[in-house]
Structure 1
Amino acid sequence: MDLLNAILVDDEVFTRKGLIKLIDWEACGFRIVAEGDNGEDALELIRSIRPDLVITDIRMPILDGLELIRQTVRDPGASPAFILISGYDDFKYAQQAVRYGVHDFILKPIDEGEFSDTLRRLGRRLRQEREAKEREERLQSGAMIEAIVTGAADEAFVAEWEKRLQLAPGENLYYLLAELNDGPGWPSSKDNGPFSRLGELVRETLRRLTGESRPFYVYEHRNRIGVIVPERALRPFGGKIRPFAEALVQSFQAGDGRLFVYVGRPVSRLSALREAYETAKETLPYKYVYDDSGIVIYGELGGQPVRYLGADQSLCGELLEHMEELRFDRLQATVDALFRDFRDKRCAPEAVKMNIDQCVLGMIRIIRGMDGDERALSCLEPMMSWHDSNLSLGGLKRLFTAFATECGRYIAELRKDRQKGGIQKIRAYIEEHYRENLSLKSIAAKFYINPVYLGQLFKRTYGIYFNEFLLQLRVNEAKRLLRQTDLRVYEVAERVGFSNPDYFVTQFEKLERVTPGEYRSRLLKEGASDGTNR
């Protein structure tokens, strides 16, 4: 919880020190930032510190408590809450205090519990009022920026806001666009994590860096935050915009992601803010050129244009080939070369998008050509919508590499499935045509596959070599014919695919340990023997 600032005013030093020790200020939501021993000194403290709360005694020399409140109320720049402390139960004082809007009137001796409760209640009210004020300021400042950058603001409107900004004569204004990149999971919506509170995070960071008590005026663009940066905010950085931008990028406390900033040309009048905004927009195409720093400043571009043509077209072809061949080391090297080409050729984001989309569509075509479904890829959605997100060149490279690697692995799975289905078709073909003059080479030619690879695949799938499988089919059919027909051996050999009867006999005997004739004779003997026993 952010502590509220309070100052303590009493002409008796022992009373002040005793009160500081008596109350657990932080537990009540406050911290004592200054002390005063008279009303005049307290008035100067109020004007310089702008505290949230003033705790003052009524009776003091030079300027009493009520007069201190009265003069403070007249100052439009100061609006602290007041708690009056008095050793006298004076109804008139209490009445006057109420007229000035004093929060509470506390009698001495002070009761610790009562005073602590008063502080807690006041702290809750002040925070609610602060939040409401900040919400109102955000709405008003957003409307102001929009009116000026769109040319809808008249002179009176601009003059009023120049007073609010408290601009010194001739003080330069910068318009800065802040963009959060590489959020978790590459979200496509700014309503995710730090994206949804980017404006407040930028405000907090700027206050911390500059020590500026006056607010920074912020406007929410579609996926960026626009900030008016007055020249006075650059004083801690030697009046220079680059060290200011570097400190903003380095100190940004988003928890994740990278902050990119784009800075337009400085202008000396609020009415010229549109020019500052338009020149800030002109720096956006240079995003990937300055990916290392994340800072693009209009005045430093030097007239060097970005390119809207893509990178080396051959790299996409190489990338697809390495992906299909599962050569992930070469795939990574090609991705590195592609993204190096983007940077070296000063490619605009639109050119990068064209090349990336071309490669992605090539991968999807390969998957579909293998009867795959690209929707099975976990990286598909972020890859297809990456240009709707804020990604640095490095973040895009990581996403693209992950997508290409996942595509390669999916293609390998599809290839295995196709091979499994293909070998089943080959087996079915062999079982149907085993009576013909088959060979591994002829089958491989028919199915457009390397014969050596086919032999290996057949053995790996079925645990038996092709020639052994073919011989088994033929011998099994020969045994059936020998059992069920009176065909001669040479006729059986011809029926099962052997053109040479002697070779048939040799192969049959090799597998069954008997010749075809012996096999038939044994069947006849067993049949006769069985009939005799009956």
Structure 2
Amino acid sequence: MYKVLIVDDEVFVRKGLIGLMDWSQLNFEICGEAENGEQALELIERLTPELVIVDIRMPVLDGLELIRQVKTEGLHQPLFVILSGYPDFSYAQQAFRYNVSDYILKPVDEQELTAALKKTAHTLNQKQLLLMTKEKPLVATVIESLLQSEPDEQVLASIVHSLEMPLASSYTYVIVEIQDLLPNGTVDYMPALQSCLMRFFQQEGQTLLLHVRAYNQYGLIVPQLWMSKQITDERTTYARLLYLLEKELVTTIALFIGLRADHLKQISSSGASAEECLNYRFTKDFDRIFIASELRELPLYYFDVDEELHGRLMYEVEANRQEGYAPAIESIFMVFKERHFAHGAVTNTIRRILIAVINLIRQLEGDEKELALLEDLLDWQKKYRNSSQLKEVFLQFIEEAAAYIAGKRGEKSEGNIEKIKKYIDGHFRENIYLKGIAADFHLNPVYLGQLFRKQYGVYFNEYLLSLRVEEAKRLLRQTKRRVYEIAETVGFHNADYFATQFEKLENMTPTDYRNKMFHSN
């Protein structure tokens, strides 16, 4: 990863830039922020960023003067990208005299910044590759550079010579993911991983193209010549490798295997397909071996679970019925597998349920921070890396949340369904509706509707209508009020709608009903 320093006197601009994109996808990480050029000078020497993104106009020391001082006096020489709110050619002219990488106008466009970062990464890659020596190759830099851009022939020749890699071979990029339920980097698996891989591929003493990635992952470039020493097909070979790795490292592991590249300089395409395999981690398990050539015809699903399934889970959570919410969770995770939910779709589904749970708790004047597992679920991607791990902690969280909600509701006697029915019986002439009553009684409207039907055998709206029509019938029999007056009295603001609903229940209009009652007497 290349380090980036953000320099701007506006804190919202700095935070906006940091949140604008997935920096790690472009091989960058934010190492610090500065609000003026003077602060930036100190941070550049201390943090040694490879790239500085700097506003052109700031107090104390502006962007151009910062660049001038770094270029002429600095021990560390990063690349610079300038941000400017001034589309003035003279500013750009001065900036490019200092050989800045790019000049971007505010407000910053994501695509424009992405293009600038890709261009900068390419420049940094080439610089790093050319620093290699035969005695001390920069393996991690080599791999990350190869994955970012295609090197020229001179650089490629230097790589294969320094690392004693076969040039006349196809290559595959493999992601080894450690699923140890620990935050990223808690355990350094690199030594054991190197030893195990060398033995498996019969390359003892050879330099492996192995590097550390984010999210407890390691990336490996495998020459096809090494694979040809195995006498079995691709899946069987990787199954043997997985077995050996899990035995040696004593933890759960998953392998994500990219498409084979015809040449080392095209390994970035294999890397991209291995990255795409990560999207399938919550689909069918594939024995924790995800091979791009097997997955490319399997379309991913990028949406949320059906509303019916989401509503069913939330109903069971409110009812605090483990026999209800446990099967609902099982169904959700089954849908993840069967419909091939992409990683992002799984994230959105979990987030949506978390928000619904938090809203329920707040309606009951509770505090979601009292849930021990909430932080775990909010940041679940850092620890839970397969379907069974995520399902287990998710079920534990829902169990905790359901009990908490039940406890809070128990503190509020208004939650009793009989009291809600009595309230409706006493207020049906008013403009009442399910959502408003649910809010008054600290209930989710969907849950209240389902609970009411379960308890009384009719939907809320049907029951409310029946009360209003029965009262209307009484008034039609016992008073001489006009139909529109009766409609308003029993809670209808539209006489025609009242007449329609009355006829639907009684198979006659209000006027016909009155006439019938009058003539029968």
Asked if 1:373 corresponds to 2:362, the answer is: no
Aligned in 2, Cα 1:145/1:242: closer, same or farther, shift over 3 Å? Answer: same
Asked if 1:361 corresponds to 2:355, the answer is: yes
Counterparts of 1:206 and 1:240, CA distance in 2? 18
Match of 1:436 in 2: none
User: Over residues 283-305 of structure 1, what are the superposed CA-to-partner deviations in whole Å (9 max), with x where a residue is unaligned?
Assistant: 22122224241111111124221
Match for residue 231 of structure 1 among 224, 227, 236: 224
Counterparts of 1:249 and 1:153, CA distance in 2? 31
Contact 2:135 2:162 in 1 (8 A): no
Match of 2:214 in 1: 222
User: How many residues of Structure 1 are paired with residues of Structure 2 in the alignment?
Assistant: 290
Match for residue 203 of structure 2 among 194, 212, 237: 212
Residue identity opposite 1:248 in structure 2: L
Counterparts of 1:204 and 1:399, CA distance in 2? 33
Asked if 1:303 corresponds to 2:303, the answer is: no
Match of 2:143 in 1: 145
Counterparts of 1:383 and 1:160, CA distance in 2? 46
Contact 1:283 1:296 in 2 (8 A): yes
DSSP-derived class of the 1:218 partner: strand
Farther off after superposition, 397-406 or 383-392: 383-392
Match of 1:95 in 2: none
Contact 1:264 1:298 in 2 (8 A): yes
User: Over residues 400-420 of structure 1, what are the superposed CA-to-partner deviations in whole Å (9 max), with x where a residue is unaligned?
Assistant: 11110000111122123334x
Stretches of structure 1 that go unaligned for 5 or more consecutive residues are: 1-135, 427-440, 450-534
Stretches of structure 2 that go unaligned for 5 or more consecutive residues are: 1-133, 428-436, 442-521
Deviation at residue 370 of structure 1 after TM alignment:
0.8
Aligned in 2, Cα 1:238/1:328: closer, same or farther, shift over 3 Å? Answer: same
Counterparts of 2:384 and 2:138, CA distance in 1? 27
Residue identity opposite 2:158 in structure 1: E
Match of 2:4 in 1: none
Residue identity opposite 2:211 in structure 1: Y
Counterparts of 1:255 and 1:220, CA distance in 2? 16
Contact 1:171 1:268 in 2 (8 A): yes
Asked if 1:318 corresponds to 2:312, the answer is: yes
- Over the matched positions of the two proteins, sequence identity in percent amounts to 22
User: Over residues 87-129 of structure 1, what are the superposed CA-to-partner deviations in whole Å (9 max), with x where a residue is unaligned?
Assistant: xxxxxxxxxxxxxxxxxxxxxxxxxxxxxxxxxxxxxxxxxxx
Counterparts of 2:373 and 2:356, CA distance in 1? 15
Counterparts of 2:147 and 2:167, CA distance in 1? 21
Asked if 1:410 corresponds to 2:401, the answer is: no
Alignment RMSD? 3.2
Match of 1:80 in 2: none
DSSP-derived class of the 2:189 partner: helix
DSSP-derived class of the 1:310 partner: coil
Query: How does the TM-score come out when normalised to structure 2?
Result: 0.51
Contact 1:176 1:226 in 2 (8 A): yes
Deviation at residue 319 of structure 1 after TM alignment:
0.8
Deviation at residue 281 of structure 1 after TM alignment:
1.7
Counterparts of 2:324 and 2:352, CA distance in 1? 19
Contact 2:282 2:387 in 1 (8 A): yes
Pairing 1:2-21 to 2, within 5 Å after superposition: none
Pairing 1:86-235 to 2, within 5 Å after superposition: 140-151=138-149, 153-168=151-166, 170-181=168-179, 183-184=180-181, 187=182, 189-193=183-187, 197-213=188-204, 214-223=206-215, 224-235=217-228
DSSP-derived class of the 1:228 partner: strand
Contact 1:142 1:218 in 2 (8 A): yes
Residue identity opposite 1:204 in structure 2: S
Aligned in 2, Cα 1:355/1:219: closer, same or farther, shift over 3 Å? Answer: same
Counterparts of 1:340 and 1:137, CA distance in 2? 52
Asked if 1:265 corresponds to 2:259, the answer is: yes
Contact 2:409 2:415 in 1 (8 A): no
Match for residue 333 of structure 1 among 316, 327, 331: 327
DSSP-derived class of the 1:171 partner: coil
Counterparts of 1:258 and 1:137, CA distance in 2? 36
Match of 1:244 in 2: 237
Counterparts of 1:138 and 1:343, CA distance in 2? 45
User: Over residues 293-348 of structure 1, what are the superposed CA-to-partner deviations in whole Å (9 max), with x where a residue is unaligned?
Assistant: 11111111242211111222211111111112121022111111111011111110
Contact 1:245 1:295 in 2 (8 A): yes
Contact 1:264 1:279 in 2 (8 A): yes
Query: How does the TM-score come out when normalised to structure 1?
Result: 0.50
DSSP-derived class of the 1:174 partner: strand
Counterparts of 1:299 and 1:309, CA distance in 2? 24
Aligned in 2, Cα 1:308/1:138: closer, same or farther, shift over 3 Å? Answer: farther
Deviation at residue 422 of structure 1 after TM alignment:
9.5
Deviation at residue 164 of structure 1 after TM alignment:
3.9
Match of 1:274 in 2: 268
Deviation at residue 390 of structure 1 after TM alignment:
4.7
